[in-house]
């Protein structure tokens, strides 16, 4: 079970960073287009929330697949 907790933490961390990267890229494109760097608070909150949702879904997927493998072995 310790393995799944670590997997959950790493997958959430990765997904949050990926959402920040996507949002940062959008902000940089907006900077080159409009001339001002805009990072709205809602974008940061959305990145954290969507990152945790995506990380949790990845962890649940691996947990369910490992359960199916255990049942299939028996």
User: How many structural domains is the chain composed of?
Assistant: 1
pLDDT digits (tens, 9 = 90+) for 17-70: 999 999 999 999 999 998 888 888 998 999 999 999 999 999 999 999 999 999
Domain that holds residue 17: 2-73
Q: 3-state class of 50 per DSSP?
A: helix
This prediction's pTM: 0.82
Q: Which of 53, 51, 68, 61 is nearest to 4 (CA)?
A: 61
């Amino acid at each position: 079970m310790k393995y799944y907790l670590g997997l959950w933490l790493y997958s959430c961390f990765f997904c949050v960073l990926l959402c920040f990267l996507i949002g940062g890229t959008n902000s940089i494109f907006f900077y080159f287009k409009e001339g001002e760097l805009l990072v709205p608070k809602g974008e940061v909150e959305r990145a954290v929330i969507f990152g945790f949702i995506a990380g949790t879904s990845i962890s649940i997927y691996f947990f369910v697949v490992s359960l199916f493998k255990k049942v299939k072995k028996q």
